[in-house]
Chains A and B, each alone.
Chain A
Amino acid sequence: MLTLLFRMSATTETPSLARLATREVLLRKRRGWFFGMTGDQFVKYVFQGNAAVSIIVLGLITFTIFKDAVGFIPMNHANLAVYRLAGLEYVDLYREQVTAHSTMSRYLAGIRARQLDILMQKEGLAPAAAMARLAAYDGFANSFADTINEQETLLGTMTDLVTAVKERQTVAQDLAVAKKNLLGAMSGATPERAVELQQQADAIQIEVIDYQAEIKPLLALRPEIAATNASQMTAMKEILGQAPKFADAELNRRMEKFQGFVQGYFNEAAVVAEKMAAWDQTKPVGRLEAFNAFAFGRKWITASFWQDWYGIIPLLTGSLLIAFLALLLALPLGVAAAIYVNQVARPMEQKILKPYIEFIAAIPSVVLGFFGIAMLGETLRRLSQLPALDWVPGFPMAERLNATTAACLLALMAIPTIFSLAEDAINNVPRSFKEASFALGATRLQTIIHIIVPAALSGIMAAMLLGFGRVVGETMVVLLCAGNRIQTPDLSAGLGVIFQPVHTMTGIIAQEMGEVVRNSIHYRALFMVGAVLFLISLLVNWLAQKIVRRYRISIG
């Protein structure tokens, strides 16, 4: 009634305006104060500007990352060239032989430990008495270990020789950089200052190293190396003739295996000698080699006195190992939760569960990492020490912080992503499919397994991929909880590999970027790692989008 009254009064009280002709009205488009734009145009340009800013920023970021990353290749090329020219490569060849020998000595130590075990546990000897019984064996092992002494001395001499050359090279390189900086500063300086800078730059004397000459003393050691190898071989054969026999069959088997190792060592020494003879200082390092050393390199060693290696393999495998583990945990949990919430839960439960699961995404990752160090790592290690769980590969865990600790937390972070997207996908399955299935006498479980999940499968795949992207890119948790040991996971441990500490691509950037010299090779190497991460994320997102698009079409 009131509204009616109001309406009536409104119509009666509005003064009637003189009505304009259509022709006049049509030509009265209003121009605003702002550069003569209409309101609509203005709004359009504001939005357009915002969109353009984000696109430009993304483009700039991509450009910067790749520009700095690409610079790594020539620098690593130079790095590898010095490695060859200064003879480090040559020395490393010889080092392989010495390392192989010490591996055998460690194997002997293993046999000794086993013997001690047997003596003390089976024969019940006191430690001192057991040690006494091992005296003969110790004599054998020690004389075996001593056969490498001459080689080690030689290796030391060689190392000192090339290190001296390398140091001079480093100094020369640093001076060259300093000179370049001085000259670079001249362009903006006052004339007096420029003259001063020029003088300083001229004062810098950069040594030009004649690698061919420097390497001569190193190569002069060749006859000596051959002689020591020959004498070592005779000595080892003689010692091997005195190899002790054991009462225990297992120990004898090990000893036989050891003799096999010694044969292998002789072969290896021959191969090394061949390689050293064939080594050519002047052979140029290919561009591709500089790239391969990154893409397939198994060592990431920085700031070393000897040689820096920037190989992504340990970081990449670490990242992938953690990501796959996390996905393995998060995928069933996320998808099952999505199925439950969408298909089984009552509306009341839905209202509680959905925001609750999505809330996990709101936990700051550093808090999760903190929790991982303080609680999860410790709990997992205690669990792994239970005698009842000895059958699990990798138990008991050697390290509290390892790939699994990080993966558990990352799984928690990926669950909301996977859950939300999978729930969306399941929700998009037409209700009529479900009804048709029920009407044919299918149970709820059959309907979910045979109808709902297959129909939502591409959506679930996309959820999985985006979850993977989330996990690969995550930094804080892996930095805190993955153990940060730069080493390619050792697959010989079988499934136990998941309990090894690893380092990741994201972790290494966060950890080292703050300490590197700008534009140094290390800095560029980190950008390379960043570029690889970027490409992985790009690929994952692109795949996910492609799958989702196909899925929309198939459901119609």
Chain B
Amino acid sequence: MTESVAPSAAPRPLAVAPVAAASPAARAAIEIDDVDFHYGASKALHDITLNIPERQVTAFIGPSGCGKSTLLRCLNRMNDLIDGARVSAGRIRIDGVNIFDPRVDVIELRKRVGMVFQKSNPFPKSIYENITYGLRIQGQKTKARLDEVVEHSLRGAALWDEVKDRLHESALGLSGGQQQRVCIARAIAVEPEIILMDEPCSALDPIATAKVEELIHGLKKQFTIVIVTHNMQQAARCSDRTAFFYLGKLIEYADTRTIFMNPANPQTEAYVSGRFG
């Protein structure tokens, strides 16, 4: 977190993160092959294929209703909770295993693929209980271990110094940005491999947004991050690779620099330059 990207609170021109572009040789953490997705009778995703590299930030961008959140929620099978929603074709492989295989334990999948939601949603419990929830339901009861994880996770989420004196107060008493970072800390406490972020900053003010973005940059050393965002500047600032979706189709997927500076597809170009969406 210390080696911050740049003070990113103020809106700036579409600057691309000055970090080295992702090396194409990075191992794919998630392989998405020819995925079709239906909500009841309507088809939300058409034939999506992309590989998400390990320990990088991949951004999904596109106008509302383009299917980017749907795809994200396929990655930890959160769509299972919606009636009538199903993947009708294709595979998503994580570490080589198709997650729609009937033998897959969805509970284990979600322990490995954490998620941060659009609206911060801490449980109506104390900060401490929020962070330890994931471990407790796995049966971890040792106080020392839980304390250690709380500190480690909160430091990881750049929140430790702000809340260390009130760990046992309700998480609902925190500000919006702090709540969202509690949710991130809660997600990293169970030590996942992949963290999915569904528009994590859409409800935050610019300063809180800057903090979360900074955090994302730090987290990618340890985790593979997939982030859905409406904010193109955010995608440009903090992602290594960007996928542009439109009407349920993957239009273009490349290095973030390429997408924003030199897109191959005229639709992408129109979207990133703000002509629609």
Q: Give me the interface of A with B, judged by CB distance under 8 Å.
A: 346-347, 430, 432-443, 446, 450-451, 454-455, 554-556
Contact = CB atoms under 8 A, between A and B. Distances in A.
Given A432-B117, A433-B121, A556-B172, A438 B110 contact: yes
Interface stretch (B43-51, B76-84, B91-99, B205-213): B76-84
Contacts of A454: 124-125
Given A434-B81, A438-B81, A440-B110, 14 more contacts: A346-B83, A436-B123, A436-B186, A437-B133, A440-B137, A440-B190, A441-B107, A441-B110, A441-B137, A450-B136, A451-B123, A454-B124, A455-B124, A555-B124
Contacts of B136: 450
Contacts of A455: 123-124
22 contacts: A432-B117, A432-B121, A433-B123, A435-B117, A436-B121, A438-B78, A438-B110, A439-B78, A439-B110, A439-B187, A440-B111, A440-B134, A440-B187, A440-B190, A441-B107, A441-B109, A441-B111, A442-B107, A442-B137, A450-B136, A454-B124, A454-B125
Contacts of B238: none
B108 interface: yes
A440 B114 contact: yes
Contacts of A436: 115, 117, 121-123, 183, 186
A246 B28 CA distance: 94
A450 B125 CA distance: 10
A23 B124 CA distance: 58
A439 B76 contact: yes
A439 B118 CA distance: 13
Given A436-B117, A441-B110, A441-B190, A446 B137 contact: yes
Interface string B178-207: 000001001100100000000000000000
Interface of B: 76, 78, 81, 83, 107-111, 114-115, 117, 119, 121-125, 133-134, 136-138, 172, 183, 186-187, 190
Nearest to A440: B134
A441 B140 CA distance: 14
A348 B133 CA distance: 32
Contacts of A446: 137
A445 to B, nearest CB: 10
B81 A441 contact: no
Contacts of A433: 121, 123-124
A554 B138 CA distance: 27
Contacts of B76: 439
Given A440-B186, A441-B111, A435 B137 contact: no
Looking at A347, A432, A436, A450, the one whose CB has the most chain B CB atoms below 10 A away is A436
A440 B191 CA distance: 10
